[in-house]
Structure 1
């Protein structure tokens, strides 16, 4: 009898562990993944504008007020950089943000994150990597991926395939398209769709998905602050599909 009890307990242990892990998930209003383009089209000065823009956003009192204004009063956020189909690097791991102190710690982590530049632009690779980041200790009422970049997909599998798989998982894909003021070669520019059109038609998706367009990297800070405030709103506002910042 004793042996059967021990055996039964041993067999039940994996299920108990899984139940314990499920109970350990911290509820948040939003799980937000920030995906930042570091391909070669983003020069060091422009990359710094991106990082400083995200850093400033999480120090903004209006954003902090938005974080605290949800039903739970907390969000979970992580940041990674992306380039080629196989190059994605988490630079700030998941953090719980529930007020000014934690938001400023997240901003500090962004400020201290490494700056690296790679080659190509794989939006599909970024989507795939972002989709795998959810379910790591948090349970949000919404799962949102914030993809910022200044070019179209030129590495990895088709964006349509990665996008469809992310949407099937209930993930909302929002975009921040940066219209670089450095002109592309005429032969290349003629073969590419306008970046804002591309992001709107090929990248964003899911309930309430939207696109923010920065007219050059100088507009990035204002654009990203507005974008995140809108993403973390307790009740996402029915704003325009596309917003522009010059």
Structure 2
């Protein structure tokens, strides 16, 4: 066989092997078609006894303004799929958790504006009670079963109190994190000045988790905006 023909045969054989191995390798991480959305986010909103009507209104207004902000819209647009899914839960004691915004996909500025309007007009729908962070996490984590397929799963907990109702929170945190869920906290320090330290030790967990403190409810709006941008953009952003 002529040398040139032998060379062509060997080259084709090697190319076939390379193609076969290529087909067996996993797809690169981050492909847009791996998941429906970049992030599935549960917003867990404290409605316990310690949160009065004004403080509840501040939370909802802060969430509404944050989703309508250019910063949040830019964060969503920077994602691989440029889509996130959001649901919101109001919670208080171990028997009181309620979905107030069902899973909603945000895929552009108009969607973000609409969700912001919904938050700003969402009333308190839950009976006041104690503070059950453990059951808030249990309830919130169960919602991912109905969420769009997401690369990252995050529970965003805002509160001014410690767990004082229901099971201990640390074991629940550990079970939730084992399901590849990240738990982040926004701690309002008006009643417990060291609440952020408590959250770091007992509540927050999972890949890239963080806790943002706000000195009081007046600081909530800025804190929730910073928190949402960081959650939407993903781990590694400060």
Number of residue-to-residue matches in the alignment:
204
8 Å contact 2:93–2:166 — kept in the other structure? yes
Cα contact 1:208–1:238 (8 A) shared by 2: no
Matches of residues 135-174 of structure 1 in structure 2 within 5 Å?
A: 135-174=145-184
Give the secondary-structure state (helix, strand or coil) at the position aligned to 2:50: coil
Q: What are the within-5 Å matches in structure 2 for residues 43-82 of structure 1?
A: 43-82=52-91
List 4+ stretches of structure 1 deviating above 6 A: none
Alignment of 1:155-194 (within 5 A): 155-180=165-190, 194=194
Residue 100 in structure 1 maps to residue 99 in structure 2: no
Q: Normalising by structure 1, what TM-score?
A: 0.80
Per-residue CA distance 1:198-237 (angstroms, 9 max, x = gap): 011111001110001011000000000000000010x522
Counterpart secondary structure, 1:205: coil
TM-score with structure 2 setting the length: 0.82
SS at match of 1:115: coil
Task: Kindly state the Cα deviation for residue 135 of structure 1 after the two structures are TM-superposed.
Answer: 2.7
CA root-mean-square deviation: 1.6
Instruction: Map residues 197-216 of structure 1 onto 2, 5 A cutoff.
Output: 197-216=197-216
Q: Alpha-carbon deviation of 1:73?
A: 0.4
Give me the whole-angstrom Cα distance separating, in 1, the residues matched to 2:236 and 2:173.
23
Alignment gaps of 5+ in structure 1: 1-24, 184-188, 240-246
Further displaced range: 150-159 or 130-139? 130-139
Distance 1:113 1:68 in 2: 26
- Rounded to whole Å, the distance in 1 between the matches of 2:52 and 2:158 is 15
Query: Any conservation in 1 of the 2:85–2:147 contact (CA below 8 Å)?
Result: no
Look up the SS of the partner of 2:208 in the other structure: coil
The alignment partner of 1:232 has SS state of: helix
CA–CA distance in structure 1, aligned partners of residues 147 and 40 of structure 2: 10
Separation of aligned partners in 2, 1:167 and 1:96: 23
Counterparts in 2 of 1:101-116, with a 5 A limit?
101-116=110-125
Give 5+ residue unaligned stretches, structure 2: 1-33
Q: Which residue of 91, 107, 113 corresponds with 2:100?
A: 91
Cα separation, 2, equivalents of 1:106 and 1:170: 26
Distance 1:142 1:47 in 2: 28
SS in 1 for 2:36: strand
Aligned to 1:236: 235
Are the aligned partners of 1:53 and 1:224 in contact in 2 as well (CA < 8 Å)?
yes
1:26 to partner: Cα distance:
6.5
Which entry has the higher C-alpha Rg, 1 or 2? 2
- How far off its partner does 1:137 sit? 4.4
